[in-house]
């Protein structure tokens, strides 16, 4: 089991993107070939820390996301490790083909940073609530897809990305999220972490939903259900061994993500289990619909992106399978 | 470094490249004819006079970069590269075949000497900008980046995003070349989506524009020399070319944009090109 903080104690909350900003600054300090480009969102994607420290290694692209990633491809071809950032709704939302052809087909180490992902961007509404980015990036050969659960993990992920030789996509959220990992929590690209051990049901979560999964595991205890929580920070490549091992142990799976379940983490886990270990599964996330304006808490409640929803699904799943047996 | 060729030598090389384009496309059974034939003079000038490059060491650190943005014209690049010694000429006949390094549209990782992957249009200039910015960060000032673009591909918004960026950062080591042959798949560029006044467009985006006859090797070499002398702006050479150049029944006909010759058309085209070669040789002896 991986070492994390006790969620019953008071947790500090911080936007996940803040960790990215610190991580990029550190990666840039370690390696002079780390460079950055942004499409007119330097402060809000937290690239400003890097820009202030290394102005000669920062490129302001303007509101031009297609150019953002193709310039990234050129920078990488010339030996740089470019981090290119915008809101996820625009990058990779708008420039998928450029990412496919000029980055993935060439296996160029361009690091695509999609900030303000999910419904948690709130009042901005459906246009800005990127829900399909995991699906869009997951289908591209060579691409690695990362969704950290908090700012501390985002910092480690960013530093790891700078050392990684392939194209990467990192998904960041805007609103403050409870910090559940610490300096001592290990992070490795491609590794899932068992945050809580249990025997009756496995909750597989990514990004902001991992905190909800941890709370759900506590709620489930009251119902005499022992839940295992697996945090999947790297959705691609998926850590198949960790997931299969847990599925074999508990025999019931719930996935949780702040995005479309089709093609997202829920899709990825279903594909894996369908082929290698058919297991009853329920997917928490956006159910083939768009978001809308509102506060993060209202939207999470409305779209069922809560620990309560995970708990309910786990209870119902356990009951329905119990009846079959 | 390049051996110095006479203009007459270069014209003969361009003619050989055209013959190979015809043979490759017929053998492949698919591919684009008009663009590659029209670009043969420009690619000859680039590979045999203008570019600093080494076919035996394609990754040479001091080489100039040549990006092909309109990837469908890659047969001309393959033919010029083979002629320059990057790989054996007989490999040209593997174009578009399974297992070939010569993919239907160029893939950077497949063949040493290709600098970019292209096909989907409008990306070459952005990639050039990325490379130029990286060179600037590394304080490299002795390398040029040439980007061959189509005219039809300038319908793409991505091109104009890149145009603004190159102007912003004054990327004067970029020399872009538009193959202005006035055709695209659905017809003439001015009826599909008018590009004119193309020169004014680029100038108003902050570029220095040179117009030249892209089928006149000497004029094109001179235009590139002029371009290298401009140090305060990125440079666009609008090279007017004849689509299908060298093969009478293909010239100016947009329907040859995206199809190969069949066997009979191949024989006819090669005969025309051999006659043309004879004319070029006799001019040399005049």
Q: What is the tens place of the pLDDT at every residue in B208-227?
A: 999 999 999 999 999 999 99
User: Which positions in chain A touch B119 (Cβ < 8 Å)?
Assistant: 101
Look at B130 and A62 and tell me if their CB atoms are within 8 Å. no
What is the reported pLDDT for B2?
A: 54
**Terminal C-alpha separation, chain A:** 30
pLDDT digits (tens, 9 = 90+) for B70-97: 999 999 999 999 999 999 999 999 999 9
Rounded to the nearest 5 percent, the helix, strand and coil shares of chain B are 50, 10, 40
**How far apart are the CA of A116 and the nearest CA of chain B, in angstroms?**
24
Look at A74 and B129 and tell me if their CB atoms are within 8 Å. yes
| Lookup result for tokens 């051996």 | B3
Count of A-B CB contacts under 8 Å:
100
Say which of A26, A65, A228, A258 is annotated catalytic.
A65
Nearest to A59 among B115, B131, B133 (CB): B133
Look at A67 and B126 and tell me if their CB atoms are within 8 Å. yes
User: Which positions in chain A touch B157 (Cβ < 8 Å)?
Assistant: 66
Closest chain B residue by Cα to residue A59: B133
The structural architecture, per CATH, of the domain B7-285 is 3-Layer(aba) Sandwich (3.40)
Interface mutation target, options B127, B129, B149, B205, chain A, most CBs of A under 10 Å = B127
Nearest to A74 among B107, B131, B137 (CB): B131
- B267 at A interface, C-beta within 8 A: no
User: Which positions in chain B touch A66 (Cβ < 8 Å)?
Assistant: 122, 126, 157-158, 161
- B183 at A interface, C-beta within 8 A: no
Which ranges in chain B belong to alpha helices (H)?
A: 7-28, 34-45, 74-84, 124-137, 157-168, 189-192, 198-204, 217-229, 263-285
d(CA A119, CA A227): 26
Nearest to B127 among A80, A97, A102 (CB): A102
Which stretch of DSSP H or E encloses residue A202?
strand A201-205
- B165 at A interface, C-beta within 8 A: yes
Q: What is the DSSP letter of A49?
A: H
- Where residue A118 falls (left for φ over 0; alpha for ψ -120 to 50; beta otherwise) is left
Closest chain B residue by Cα to residue A71: B130
**How far apart are the CA of B134 and the nearest CA of chain A, in angstroms?**
6
Q: How confident is the model at residue B284 (pLDDT cuts 50, 70, 90)?
A: confident
User: Which positions in chain B touch A77 (Cβ < 8 Å)?
Assistant: 108, 115-116, 127, 130-131
- Cα A183-A42-A82 angle, rounded to 5 deg: 70
Q: What is the DSSP letter of A104?
A: I
Residue among A115, A96, A123, A168 nearest A298 (CA):
A123
What is the reported pLDDT for A2?
A: 86
CB A241 within 8 A of CB A216: no
pLDDT at B103 over 50: yes
Residue among A4, A18, A11 nearest A172 (CA):
A18
Nearest to B137 among A57, A61, A105 (CB): A57
d(CA B36, CA B79): 10
Look at A77 and B118 and tell me if their CB atoms are within 8 Å. no
Q: How confident is the model at residue B286 (pLDDT cuts 50, 70, 90)?
A: low
What rounded mean pLDDT belongs to chain B? 96
Burial B221-252 (b: 16+ CB within 10 A, else e): bebbeebeeeeebbbbbbbbbbbbbbbeebeb
Strand partners, A228: A202
Look at B158 and A67 and tell me if their CB atoms are within 8 Å. yes
What is the reported pLDDT for A323?
A: 60
For A37, residues 6+ apart whose C-beta sits below 8 A from its C-beta are A58, A59, A60, A61, A68, A71, A72, A75, A82, A83, A84, A85
Burial B136-154 (b: 16+ CB within 10 A, else e): ebeeeeebbbbbbbbbbbb
User: Which positions in chain A touch B130 (Cβ < 8 Å)?
Assistant: 70-78, 80, 82
Look at B129 and A66 and tell me if their CB atoms are within 8 Å. no
What is the reported pLDDT for B1?
A: 46
What is the reported pLDDT for A123?
A: 93
**How far apart are the CA of B244 and the nearest CA of chain A, in angstroms?**
28
**How far apart are the CA of B118 and the nearest CA of chain A, in angstroms?**
7
What is the reported pLDDT for A1?
A: 82
User: Which positions in chain B touch A78 (Cβ < 8 Å)?
Assistant: 130-131, 134-135, 138
Which tokens in the block code for residue B8?
A: 């007459």
User: Which positions in chain B touch A71 (Cβ < 8 Å)?
Assistant: 126-127, 129-130, 133, 162, 165
pLDDT at B17 over 60: yes
Look at A77 and B116 and tell me if their CB atoms are within 8 Å. yes
What is the reported pLDDT for A78?
A: 97
Please say if A275 is a catalytic residue.
no
Q: Which domains does chain A have, with CATH numbers?
A: 15-178 (3.40.50.970), 193-324 (3.40.50.920)
Which tokens in the block code for residue B279?
A: 């004319």
d(CA B179, CA B152): 9
What is the reported pLDDT for A322?
A: 67
Look at B130 and A75 and tell me if their CB atoms are within 8 Å. yes
Nearest to A106 among B109, B135, B165 (CB): B109
pLDDT at B283 over 90: no
What is the reported pLDDT for A24?
A: 98
d(CA B27, CA B94): 8
Which tokens in the block code for residue B243?
A: 């689509």
The pLDDT profile of chain A, 325 residues, written as one tens digit per residue, is 888 999 999 999 999 999 999 999 999 999 999 999 999 999 999 999 999 999 999 999 999 999 999 999 999 999 999 999 999 999 999 999 999 999 999 999 999 999 999 999 999 999 999 999 999 999 999 999 999 999 999 999 999 999 999 999 999 999 899 999 999 999 999 999 999 999 999 999 999 999 999 999 999 999 999 999 999 999 999 999 999 999 999 999 999 999 999 999 999 999 999 999 999 999 999 999 999 999 999 999 999 999 999 999 999 999 998 665 4
Strand, coil or helix: A132: coil
């Amino acid at each position: 089991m991986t070492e994390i903080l006790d969620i019953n104690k008071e947790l500090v909350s911080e936007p996940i993107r803040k960790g990215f900003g610190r991580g990029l600054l550190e990666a840039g300090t370690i390696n002079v070939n780390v460079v950055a480009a942004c499409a007119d969102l330097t402060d809000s994607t937290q690239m400003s820390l890097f820009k202030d420290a290394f102005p000669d290694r920062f490129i302001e692209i303007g509101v031009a996301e297609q150019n953002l990633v193709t310039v990234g491809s050129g920078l990488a071809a010339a030996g740089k490790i470019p981090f290119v950032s915008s809101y996820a709704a625009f990058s990779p939302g708008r420039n998928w083909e450029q990412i496919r052809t000029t980055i993935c087909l060439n296996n160029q180490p361009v690091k695509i940073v999609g900030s303000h992902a999910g419904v948690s961007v709130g009042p901005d509404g459906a246009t800005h609530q990127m829900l399909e980015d995991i699906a869009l990036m997951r289908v591209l050969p060579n691409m690695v897809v990362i969704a950290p659960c908090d700012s501390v993990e985002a910092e480690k992920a960013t530093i790891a990305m700078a050392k990684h030789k392939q194209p990467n996509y990192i998904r960041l959220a805007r609103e403050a999220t409870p910090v559940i990992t610490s300096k001592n929590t290990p992070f490795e690209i491609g590794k899932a972490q068992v945050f809580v051990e249990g025997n009756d049901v496995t909750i597989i979560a990514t990004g902001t939903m991992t905190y909800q999964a941890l709370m759900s595991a506590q709620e489930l205890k009251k119902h005499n259900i022992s839940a295992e929580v697996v945090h999947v920070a790297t959705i691609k490549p998926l850590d198949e061994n960790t997931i299969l091992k847990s599925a074999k142990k508990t025999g019931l799976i719930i996935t949780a993500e702040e995005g479309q379940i089709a093609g997202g983490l829920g899709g990825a886990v279903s594909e894996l289990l369908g082929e290698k270990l058919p297991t009853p599964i329920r997917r928490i996330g956006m159910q083939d619909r768009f978001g809308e304006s509102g506060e993060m808490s209202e939207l999470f409640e409305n779209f069922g992106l809560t620990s309560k929803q995970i708990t309910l699904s786990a209870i119902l799943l356990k009951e329905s399978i119990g009846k079959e047996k | 470094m390049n051996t110095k060729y006479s203009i007459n030598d270069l014209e003969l090389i361009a003619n050989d490249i055209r013959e190979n384009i015809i043979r490759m496309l017929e053998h492949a059974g698919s591919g684009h004819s008009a663009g590659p034939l029209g670009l043969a003079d420009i690619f000859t000038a680039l590979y045999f006079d203008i570019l600093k490059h080494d076919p035996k060491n394609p990754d040479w650190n001091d080489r100039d970069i040549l990006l092909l943005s309109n990837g469908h014209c890659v047969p001309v690049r393959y033919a010029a590269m083979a002629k320059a010694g990057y790989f054996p000429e007989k490999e040209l006949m593997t174009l578009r075949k399974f297992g070939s390094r010569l993919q239907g549209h160029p893939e950077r990782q497949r063949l040493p000497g290709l600098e970019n992957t292209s096909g989907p249009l409008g990306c070459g200039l952005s990639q050039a900008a990325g490379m130029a910015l990286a060179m600037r960060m590394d304080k490299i000032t002795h390398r040029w980046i040439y980007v061959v673009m189509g005219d039809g591909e300038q319908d793409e918004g991505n091109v104009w995003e890149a145009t603004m960026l190159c102007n912003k950062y004054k990327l004067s080591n970029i020399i872009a070349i538009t193959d202005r042959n006035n055709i695209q798949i659905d017809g003439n560029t001015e009826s599909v989506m008018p590009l004119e006044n193309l020169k004014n467009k680029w100038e108003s985006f902050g570029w220095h524009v040179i117009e030249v006859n892209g089928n006149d090797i000497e004029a094109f070499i001179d235009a590139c020399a002029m371009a290298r002398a401009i140090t305060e702006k990125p440079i666009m050479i609008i090279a007017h070319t004849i689509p299908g150049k060298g093969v009478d029944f293909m010239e100016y006909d947009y329907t040859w944009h995206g199809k190969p010759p069949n066997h009979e058309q191949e024989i006819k085209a090669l005969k025309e090109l051999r006659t043309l070669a004879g004319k070029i040789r006799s001019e040399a002896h005049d």
